[in-house]
A and B are shown apart, each in its own frame.
Chain A
Amino acid sequence: MSIARKKRFIETVAKIFMWAAMFIVFGFVISVLWTIFSKGCKAMSWDMITKLPGGGFYIGKEGGFLNAIVGSLYIVGASTVLGLLISIPVVFFLNVYLTKDSKLAYVARMAFDVLFGVPSIVYGAFGFTIMIYFGLRTSLLGGIIVITLLIIPIFIRTMDEATRNFPRDILDASFALGATRWETLKVVVRQIAPGIATATLLSIGRAIGDAASVMFAAGYTDSIPTSLSQPAATLPLAVFFQLSSPIPEVVDRAYAAALVLTIIVFVLSICGRFITNRFSKNKV
């Protein structure tokens, strides 16, 4: 083979391998979605999402998993609000109050990257020890605390990424007009609003799907919690616990819960992409 032909041959082989890799990735996506949708659609009914489980979630054949839907909404709603309240100031501080080559900013980013990598089971175990220290049992409050801890690094990292490319000139222009840094934040907020929105969607997706941490902190129950100190059911745990049941009706509940969870995550992910594409066009 001449060198030129050999070159072309290797090029083709490399391309075939790459196509194969992408094909495999698509195959996995389709396989996962097909499994969840085909099982879930068969098991789905109106009762599933409007009724509480009858006669115990593990053995009772009646009802649905409204308890898990409501529990997840409580936990995710509360921890998203708490997470935003804590992480927005941190992101502003890193990007507006600190200079680009600040040591503190470097350490902070490193810390949040590390926290982002900490497995959720470790957050769960840590949260559990804190709860015991304060005399709390598995409860809605515990779930909210642990999920808030879990999503703060995600919030900060994604928002920071959006804010980092923010042009310094705009800040300088604002300072030159005599505005304080606090007042300059109004300008910043307007620019990074889509970033905040994407970060929120991403965090909600992580928060609603995480099972390992709420297992420790929120527990599981058949009813809808009426106070912060009662345990709360969550969607991922509804899937996890009910899937192993020997009773087919209960397993169906797990499939339906998996479908609901997948659809929620799906919608969040599509909205996130949409916001990113839509608003990154007319950014300064």
Chain B
Amino acid sequence: MRKSRIIKDKVAHGTMFALTIIAILMVVVIAIGLYLKSAPVLENKSLWSLLFSSEWRPMKGEFGFLPFIMGTIWVTILAILIALPISLLTAIYLTEYSKPVVRKFVFPALDILAALPSVIYGVWGVLVIVPWISQHVAPHFVEFSTGYTVLAAGIVLGVMVIPLLVSLFIEVFSSVPTDLREASLALGATRWQTTKKVVIRKTLPGILASTVLAISRAMGETIAVLMVCGCVIGIPKGILDACYPIPALIANNYGEMLSMPFYESALMFAALILFVVVLVFNLLSRIVLYRLENAEK
């Protein structure tokens, strides 16, 4: 009787340990899988020409990812520029100023924004943002624009990362001990001065880490961006140009990629680029955030 209980415990331990290790190894397996698949194109072309050439002719075996990389960078930067101030101010208000009543209204709203699927944002972008840009924004700057632009993709992506940023910021701000705030307030500082000189200064690494995390999220978004970015191959020259970010490239060509030599391999290389960048960004920012979390204890 006693023995069977211990055996049961040991068996459970072993199974759980194995499952945990397998789950952790998924990171490595994904990396190896994508690398093996992109190996043919890597052997055939130099890494330099893949990353910095803008010749994209799959039929002739020319794979220069520069237009797609630039598209991703443009869209991501714009999205963060839109989302960062809004999220920062909202998070400051919610942690430093608001009464619980306000939070009761704002949290469900943020919940909804966070829960809506990417494709819904895409529909919203196509129906609201794209016409708005082509009719009201673009005419002031260029002669004609369809509205499917870097700007549209940036706005849609910006809205999508707001809930993530706000929740990360709230977590970061809550790690500041109340004593520090009270000390500052007792010296006669206003709430804003306290926020600016105590809370933000203390959490600057956390704010940066959260932003990097949001950047990596924005880079990988696919469907919503695909629906509003225009999908024209070329390096965008301004925010009213169409663009073609990497995830859109992968999603758009998934069907036909098997018919051409190296094409599949090149697309898997695109996925590998995304994976590596996201991996590095995530690791860096998570390490900073963990440190903050542990420092508070």
Interface of B is mostly: helix
Option from B30, B90, B97, B220 in Cβ contact (under 8 Å) with A120 = B220
Option from A10, A31, A119, A181 in Cβ contact (under 8 Å) with B274 = A119
Do A32 and B286 touch (CB < 8 A)?
A: no
Q: Considering the complex, which residues of chain A in the window 217-275 have a beta carbon less than 8 Å from any beta carbon of chain B? A: 236-237, 239-240, 243, 254-255, 258, 261-262, 265-266, 268-270, 272-273
Do B222 and A14 touch (CB < 8 A)?
A: no
Do B267 and A125 touch (CB < 8 A)?
A: yes
Q: With an 8 A cutoff between CB atoms, is B79 at the interface?
A: no
What separation, in Å, do the CA atoms of A139 and B250 have in the docked complex?
19
Do B120 and A21 touch (CB < 8 A)?
A: no
Interface band, chain A: 35 or more
User: Across the interface, which residues of B come within 8 angstroms of A18, CB to CB?
Assistant: 89-90, 92-93, 97
How far in angstroms is the closest Cβ of chain A from B121? 7
Q: Which one of B40-48, B56-64, B108-116, B174-182 is at the interface?
A: B108-116
Q: Considering the complex, which residues of chain B in the window 122-155 have a beta carbon less than 8 Å from any beta carbon of chain A? A: 122-124, 126-128
State whether A119 and B93 are in contact (beta carbons under 8 Å apart), knowing that A93-B16, A240-B122 are contacts in the complex.
no
Interface centre among B15, B113, B121 (most CB of A within 10 A): B113
Q: With an 8 A cutoff between CB atoms, is B232 at the interface?
A: no
Q: With an 8 A cutoff between CB atoms, is A209 at the interface?
A: yes
Do B124 and A36 touch (CB < 8 A)?
A: yes
A 104-117 to B, binary, CB cutoff 8 A, 1 in contact else 0: 10111011111101
User: Across the interface, which residues of B come within 8 angstroms of A208, CB to CB?
Assistant: 117
Do B24 and A107 touch (CB < 8 A)?
A: yes
Q: With an 8 A cutoff between CB atoms, is B202 at the interface?
A: no
Q: Which one of A22-30, A57-65, A73-81, A166-174 is at the interface?
A: A22-30
User: Across the interface, which residues of B come within 8 angstroms of A25, CB to CB?
Assistant: 86, 90, 106, 109-110, 113, 162, 166
Q: Considering the complex, which residues of chain B in the window 190-204 have a beta carbon less than 8 Å from any beta carbon of chain A? A: 190-193, 195
- Number of residues from B at the complex interface, CB < 8 A: 84
Interface centre among A32, A208, A209, A237 (most CB of B within 10 A): A32
User: Across the interface, which residues of A come within 8 angstroms of B52, CB to CB?
Assistant: none
What separation, in Å, do the CA atoms of A240 and B126 have in the docked complex?
11
Do B190 and A15 touch (CB < 8 A)?
A: no
> Taking CB as reference atom, which chain B residue is nearest A185?
B12
Q: Considering the complex, which residues of chain B in the window 90-113 have a beta carbon less than 8 Å from any beta carbon of chain A? A: 90, 92-93, 97, 106-113
Option from A117, A119, A149, A181 in Cβ contact (under 8 Å) with B26 = A149
What separation, in Å, do the CA atoms of A129 and B32 have in the docked complex?
11
What separation, in Å, do the CA atoms of A147 and B9 have in the docked complex?
31
Do B93 and A8 touch (CB < 8 A)?
A: no
What separation, in Å, do the CA atoms of A230 and B21 have in the docked complex?
32
Q: With an 8 A cutoff between CB atoms, is A99 at the interface?
A: no
Q: With an 8 A cutoff between CB atoms, is A197 at the interface?
A: no
What separation, in Å, do the CA atoms of A262 and B124 have in the docked complex?
12
Do B112 and A33 touch (CB < 8 A)?
A: yes
Do A29 and B119 touch (CB < 8 A)?
A: no
What separation, in Å, do the CA atoms of A125 and B110 have in the docked complex?
30
Q: Considering the complex, which residues of chain B in the window 261-297 have a beta carbon less than 8 Å from any beta carbon of chain A? A: 267-268, 271, 274-275, 278-279, 281-283, 286-287, 290
Q: Considering the complex, which residues of chain A in the window 5-19 have a beta carbon less than 8 Å from any beta carbon of chain B? A: 7-8, 10-11, 14-15, 17-19
User: Across the interface, which residues of B come within 8 angstroms of A210, CB to CB?
Assistant: 117-118
Would you list the 5 A-B pairs with minimal beta carbon distance, nearest first?
Answer: A119-B220, A209-B117, A21-B89, A93-B16, A212-B222
Q: Using A11-B192, A119-B278, A122-B34 as known contacts, list a sample of 4 further A-B pairs with CB atoms less than 8 Å apart, ordered by residue number in A.
A: A86-B23, A124-B254, A209-B118, A243-B227
Chain A to chain B contacts (Cβ below 8 Å), 14 pairs: A21-B89, A22-B93, A32-B124, A86-B23, A110-B286, A112-B23, A117-B220, A118-B220, A122-B275, A125-B271, A209-B120, A211-B223, A236-B117, A243-B126
